[in-house]
A and B are shown apart, each in its own frame.
Chain A
Amino acid sequence: MRTRVSLVLGWTTILALGLTVWLALFVSPADVNQKDAVRLLYLHVPTAWIAMYVSFGVTTVASVLWLWKRTRSPKWDLLAGASAEIGVLFIGLTLIIGSIWGKTTWGVWWTWDARLTLTAVLLVLYLGYLAVRRAPAATEVRAKRAAFVALAAAVDIPIVHFAVEWWRTLHQPASILDDRRLLDPQIHGSMGTTLWVGVLAFTLLYSWLLLKRYRLAQMEQQIEDARLDEAIAERRAEAEEAGLPVPT
């Protein structure tokens, strides 16, 4: 059984997250402009990156692998769904923490800036994907449709990524949000380190959550299949009792 992996991964994750929180809240300095509000970005940036590039990336790749007949296998469908669910959790947190951060810096909980709007659209796109996965339909039918919806939703990811540059050519005002400063390699010292530790910690967290969610999905699928087999067996038994012909 692979519980050893999930145990090790789980504890490593907790350690990494603990380290991140310690660095973020105690070790790293307050920002010159944002003061202590910058400490929120050590959560906001990792959740955003992991959600967009890792979670939804895995969903996209897994969907492609399912759709391509040569690699089609139920495990890709289950993996895509598990990863998307975690992605939705993370992107939701991204928006919430971002909103709190925005309140401290911009004074408003929300603004219809291109990147925020498109990230909210991203959340709704994947909520739609999860809704398709819950539709009452045969597994294969549902998997195929979900895979196409995943591909369409993935188109928004590069759009969010490039939104800030593109929109500057169409709109005049430059974006006020500048978490890129944290990515500036000239920011050395504890701020940069904290950020990268945070990214690592959330990657570990994602991996652990994915492992657990995937196993859960496998179990749910098994139970669903077992119920279907049972129902078929019952229908056959009824037919036989009634003396009707039973297909083999």
Chain B
Amino acid sequence: MRAFGDAVLVAGKDLRIERRSRVATNQVLPFAILVLILFAFALDPDRGVLSRVGPGLFWVTVLFSALLAIQRSFAIEADDDARDALRLSGLDGAGIFLGKAGAIAIELALLEVVLGVGVAVLYNIPIRGAALLTATCVLTTVGIAAAGTIYGVIAAGLRVRDTLLPLLALPVLAPVLLAATRASDAALAAAPADGWPWVRLLAVFTTIYVAFGVIAFGPLLEEA
């Protein structure tokens, strides 16, 4: 299908821009680690608290970092009329969506690996339940990227985009945050049976957002 070819093209472009500008590695990643450290300052330095709420803090940090990644993804389209070029390029709307969301997902996934190590080390949390954690991370990342890309294009078309994106995206991602944290908690507590129902919920959310994006992104990319 043409959409997939276009997706690979767009994702490749976005990732190449990132490799050259290094905004994610130089700005978003340090921001994420900073948030982890701030949580440690704010909460009782007694390691007991941090290790108990570690998964929740991890996913909140990922969410905030994702907002930055999404805003960056659309900021690069704002320069040099790139948006118009994208519209006129003849690329399939669904393909552009999958490509942009895919690039964001890849960036987030790499961020999560680093953050995961950070959380394990800084908050003293032993990693268990690798299968459940992996499934959780994959689905949550795709879900965040998909929903974020949809709201990103909505906000990008309006002039108050920077303050609007968090207001639009976070309420929708709140259930994802909940499910991801519960599943992660179950994995780390070596009780995966409690976690898999949450993974099912994540799968439903992610499917809905991806489907919504595939349908709606093209029309939303147009001016009106």
Give chain A's interface residues, CB within 8 Å of chain B.
118, 121, 124-125, 127-128, 131-132, 135-138, 140-142, 144-145, 148-149, 152, 155, 159, 169-170
A141, closest chain B residue (CB): B224
Q: Are B167 and A127 interface neighbours, CB within 8 A?
A: yes
Q: Does B189 sit within 8 A of A, measured CB to CB?
A: no
* Listed residue (B150, B154, B171, B175) with the most chain A CB atoms within 10 angstroms of its CB: B171
Known: A124-B171, A144-B224, A148-B154. A131 touches B216 (CB 8 A): no
Q: Are B219 and A121 interface neighbours, CB within 8 A?
A: no
Known: A121-B171, A155-B208, A170-B197. A142 touches B154 (CB 8 A): no
Contacts of A127 in B (CB 8 A): 167
A-B contact pairs, 8 of them (CB 8 A): A132-B154, A132-B168, A135-B159, A136-B160, A141-B158, A141-B223, A145-B154, A149-B168
A127 to B172, CA, bound (A): 12
Interface of B is mostly: helix
Contacts of B157 in A (CB 8 A): 137, 141, 145
Task: For the complex formed, measure the closest distance between the CB of B72 and the CB atoms of chain A, giving whole angstroms.
Answer: 20
A146, closest chain B residue (CB): B154
Known: A144-B219, A148-B216, A170-B198. A135 touches B171 (CB 8 A): no
Q: Are B212 and A135 interface neighbours, CB within 8 A?
A: no
Q: Are A128 and B158 interface neighbours, CB within 8 A?
A: no
Residues 116-131 of B, flagged 1 when their CB comes within 8 A of A and 0 if not, give: 0000000000000000
Q: Does B174 sit within 8 A of A, measured CB to CB?
A: yes
- Give me 15 other A-B pairs in contact (C-beta within 8 A), A137-B157, A141-B223, A145-B220 excluded: A118-B175, A121-B175, A124-B170, A127-B167, A128-B164, A131-B160, A132-B168, A135-B158, A135-B160, A145-B157, A148-B216, A149-B151, A149-B168, A152-B212, A159-B175
Contacts of A141 in B (CB 8 A): 157-158, 223-224
A36 to B79, CA, bound (A): 62
A144 to B220, CA, bound (A): 7
Contacts of A121 in B (CB 8 A): 171, 174-175
Contacts of B170 in A (CB 8 A): 124
Give chain B's interface residues, CB within 8 Å of chain A.
150-151, 154, 157-160, 164, 167-168, 170-172, 174-175, 197-198, 201, 208, 212, 216, 219-220, 223-224
Contacts of B151 in A (CB 8 A): 149
Contacts of B158 in A (CB 8 A): 132, 135-137, 141-142, 145
- How many residue pairs bridge A and B at CB < 8 Å? 64
Contacts of A149 in B (CB 8 A): 151, 154, 168
Contacts of B197 in A (CB 8 A): 169-170
Contacts of B220 in A (CB 8 A): 144-145, 148
A144 to B216, CA, bound (A): 10
Task: For the complex formed, measure the closest distance between the CB of A126 and the CB atoms of chain B, giving whole angstroms.
Answer: 9
A134, closest chain B residue (CB): B160
Q: Which of A131, A138, A144 contacts B164 (CB 8 A)?
A: A131
Contacts of B208 in A (CB 8 A): 155
A112, closest chain B residue (CB): B178
Task: For the complex formed, measure the closest distance between the CB of A41 and the CB atoms of chain B, giving whole angstroms.
Answer: 27
A127, closest chain B residue (CB): B167
Contacts of A135 in B (CB 8 A): 158-160, 164
B205, closest chain A residue (CB): A155
Contacts of A128 in B (CB 8 A): 164, 167-168, 171
Task: For the complex formed, measure the closest distance between the CB of B66 and the CB atoms of chain A, giving whole angstroms.
Answer: 17
Contacts of B201 in A (CB 8 A): 170
Task: For the complex formed, measure the closest distance between the CB of A56 and the CB atoms of chain B, giving whole angstroms.
Answer: 14
Contacts of B224 in A (CB 8 A): 138, 140-141, 144
B217, closest chain A residue (CB): A148
Task: For the complex formed, measure the closest distance between the CB of A124 and the CB atoms of chain B, giving whole angstroms.
Answer: 4
B158, closest chain A residue (CB): A135
A148 to B201, CA, bound (A): 23
Task: For the complex formed, measure the closest distance between the CB of B19 and the CB atoms of chain A, giving whole angstroms.
Answer: 31
Q: Are B160 and A125 interface neighbours, CB within 8 A?
A: no
Contacts of A138 in B (CB 8 A): 223-224
A159 to B204, CA, bound (A): 12
Contacts of A145 in B (CB 8 A): 154, 157-158, 220
Contacts of B172 in A (CB 8 A): 125, 152
* Listed residue (A142, A144, A145) with the most chain B CB atoms within 10 angstroms of its CB: A145
